[in-house]
Structure 1
Amino acid sequence: MTVDVARIVVIGLGIAFAIGCYRRIMGPSSSGRPGSSRKAERLGLLPESRQNTRRSAPEPELERATASAARGRWEEAARLMAVTREQRDWARRSHYADAFGSHRSAVRGGLLDVWEAAAGPDDPDLAGVRARATVSLAWHFRGGAWAKDTSREQFAGFHATLARAPQENARAVELNPDDPTPYVAEIWTALGLGYTHEDMRRLWKEITVRDPHHYGAHYAALQFWCRKWHGSEELAMSFAREAAASAPPGSLLTAMPLIAWYEHRDSDAKAAHFRTPDVVGLVDAALVDVAAARPDHPDTADVRHLLAYFLTRQGRYDAALEQFLLVDGYVDALPWRYWTDPAAVYCGWRDRAVRGARRG
């Protein structure tokens, strides 16, 4: 997992910058129509002020663990990571590694040093979180401003830290060879280090040997193949459609073509573009997939958020409202996370669905 450190660009804390290429400044917000607000309230939907912008769904165990981490206690995070390793639940393991690795206690609070002092340097769970935290720390040094507004010192810290990430990922692989999680982290490193297409294909082979239908890995790889990073619309869509075609029901990978379409078409799309037979077909396939997903799949809510948006854009308000009712209260998901005020944007589209739906 080594690469010539040639092109260091950027990667973001919580991957918000990496997947969004800078957040959009404005977006649709709540209409303020009293009727819409009253109807939303009757349906049990929460106001903008009560939307959680740090999660896409409620996760009590993870929230307790991150709260303990904020107090300098590593034990609960270690327990959750160990359970995923023992159960070989790679999707959830990657999800937890992202959450713990991007938490401020790991990035800047010294939590990982305390964890290592207690568990030793050969703890595979610590290594997985440290690998992810290295990337997050690099972004912390760089900040979220445009390059012209970023100081030489910020870039220096960013470059020096991100250059360590491949070694941290390799160490995590050494300690737990069957785990795809370090390789998934390496994809986010690849965005910043400017891996070649051949580098990426070798990395992808390592992942698919271990978990061929890993949602988080596919999501990360799709970002690499997007035009805004190291690919093109054609490469991204080809990757996404191949993933969807080869995946079993319930894997959620039918969302990949929708994400690829959103990444390349949404900003210039008119209403009619969302209602073409192709896009409607993509939404319908993802609806079937999400209905077949296991109840505890860590990425189900993310797909429901995306579906809620597309269904609203297609004027399928009752179906959209069904998705909004299942995810309301948590808005750290695509497409809302691409905006500087995700709660406002989420509530704006949600309230359109509320107004248009027959229910309520």
Structure 2
Amino acid sequence: MGFLSSRRKRARIAPELDDQELGRLLKSLRSTSRTGTIATTDLCVAQISRFLDQGGSDWDRRTHRISVLAEFLAASQLPRSWAARQPDNATALVLHAWAQVVHARAREDRGGTVGAAESCLRAAELAPGDPTPWVALLKVARWERWRQPQVFGVWNEVLARDRWNREAYMSMLAYLAPEEAGSRLQILEFVDALGARMPANAPCAATELTAQVHQYHAILGRGGYEALVARTHWNQGMAAHALDRVAHSWAQPGFLRHARTVADLNLLAYALMAADRRADARAVFDAVGGIVTAWPWEAGGDPLTEFEQAQRRATVGM
């Protein structure tokens, strides 16, 4: 099988995942920024603008690309400069607001998102059918600790434009956690309501499994006897059900087609190995193709090391 092939690609972390066009853009931006010329910002803006405009109304792909670019550019002045130069460009405004949140979180700066909400709302006016201004505003709302009615109002605006937006569901999952503004009960209610009507291959299909991995990490974090028997989490109730429901279907070629499919496959491989379901994990590692996401592997240490060790364990005895 592919994961036993000597030609298997070396595991690597790639923020773009398997989006090769986005990967080429990131490489080009790195190269352009190193030139240090006066026109550097203009060249980068032109590249990004042209790239994001070609996606049309594929909101899932657009959200993924803006998310990756916001992370990539968070520490630079480029998003701010672009938004200042083109205040009526919705894409520039969204990228700037999103990058502000990423930068503020990295610095733990609660005041680092001044003007971000206004940028998102202006972008929403300029591009009324585009969900990404509202997805970005959801991130702003979480960081600025808006009240739940306000956050749910933003959430509903996203759903009105993109019913299964993965980034929005993950944001709400984090917001409703006890660590932010919710409770374990709210997480359960949120996941239960989603599962009742969500297509099995929707972009947000990993919401339930993500919630279970967070719960698993919480158990590990408590230490002591609970951490020693944490694996039993995956043999019980909702966790076992969540894993059983996706263990075989996700790895089937073409079943998941959204932009962050590889991230969801990483999540599944991690959960299957945590549950010691090595036989089920083998096909998932094959489907991952060596592209590693930092989370959830980083919970155990260096993500590449953790991934490679888990992949080797999955193949023992074959």
Q: Name the TM-score class by shorter chain.
A: 0.7 to 0.9
Other structure's SS at 1:240 match: helix
**Which structure is richer in relative contact order (CA contacts within 8 A, separation 6 or more)?**
1
Give the structure 1 partner of residue 72 of structure 2.
103
Q: CA offset at residue 115 of structure 1?
A: 7.6
Give the structure 2 partner of residue 80 of structure 1.
51
Other structure's SS at 1:161 match: coil
Q: CA offset at residue 174 of structure 1?
A: 1.7
Of residues 169-178 and 277-286 in structure 1, the stretch that sits farther from structure 2 once superposed is 277-286
Give the structure 2 partner of residue 322 of structure 1.
283
**What is the number of equivalent residue pairs in this alignment?**
296
TM-score, normalised via structure 2 length: 0.82
Residues 249-288 of structure 1 aligned to structure 2 (within 5 Å): 249-268=200-219, 270-276=230-236, 278-287=238-247
TM-score, normalised via structure 1 length: 0.74
Other structure's SS at 2:12 match: coil
Aligned-partner residue type, residue 193 of structure 1: E
- Deviation per CA, 1:214-264: give whole Å up to 9, x if none: 111111111101112111111112112211221123104342222112212
Separation of aligned partners in 1, 2:235 and 2:8: 27
Give the structure 1 partner of residue 62 of structure 2.
93
1:68 to 2:28 alignment? yes
1:299 to 2:260 alignment? yes
Quick check: 2:70–2:99 contact (8 Å CA) kept in 1? Answer: yes
Residues 106-125 of structure 1 aligned to structure 2 (within 5 Å): 107-110=75-78, 113=81, 117=85, 120-125=86-91
Quick check: 1:131–1:185 contact (8 Å CA) kept in 2? Answer: yes
Give the structure 2 partner of residue 194 of structure 1.
145
Separation of aligned partners in 2, 1:278 and 1:112: 44
Give the structure 2 partner of residue 130 of structure 1.
96
Q: CA offset at residue 308 of structure 1?
A: 0.7
Q: CA offset at residue 68 of structure 1?
A: 2.4
Quick check: 2:164–2:204 contact (8 Å CA) kept in 1? Answer: yes
Give the structure 2 partner of residue 175 of structure 1.
126
Q: CA offset at residue 314 of structure 1?
A: 2.6
- Deviation per CA, 1:179-236: give whole Å up to 9, x if none: 1112112222222211212112111111111111111111111110111211111111
Residue identity (%): 23
Aligned-partner residue type, residue 51 of structure 2: L
Aligned-partner residue type, residue 198 of structure 1: P
Give the structure 2 partner of residue 246 of structure 1.
197
Separation of aligned partners in 2, 1:253 and 1:100: 20
Separation of aligned partners in 2, 1:93 and 1:125: 10
- Deviation per CA, 1:9-47: give whole Å up to 9, x if none: xxxxxxxxxxxxxxxxxxxxxxxxxxxxxx97646545x
Quick check: 1:74–1:114 contact (8 Å CA) kept in 2? Answer: yes
Give the structure 1 partner of residue 169 of structure 2.
218
Gap regions ≥5 residues in structure 2: 33-39, 220-228
Runs of 4+ in 1 over 4 A off after TM superposition: 39-46, 114-117, 291-296, 337-340
Quick check: 1:169–1:185 contact (8 Å CA) kept in 2? Answer: yes
Of 94, 115, 137, 1:164 maps to 115
Other structure's SS at 1:297 match: coil
Quick check: 1:53–1:331 contact (8 Å CA) kept in 2? Answer: yes
Separation of aligned partners in 1, 2:133 and 2:77: 22
Of 156, 178, 195, 1:205 maps to 156
Separation of aligned partners in 2, 1:283 and 1:228: 24
- Deviation per CA, 1:28-76: give whole Å up to 9, x if none: xxxxxxxxxxx97646545xxx532342723221011122223242333
Give the structure 1 partner of residue 136 of structure 2.
185
Quick check: 2:174–2:180 contact (8 Å CA) kept in 1? Answer: yes
Separation of aligned partners in 1, 2:81 and 2:167: 27
Q: CA offset at residue 173 of structure 1?
A: 1.1
Other structure's SS at 1:303 match: helix
Quick check: 1:51–1:329 contact (8 Å CA) kept in 2? Answer: yes
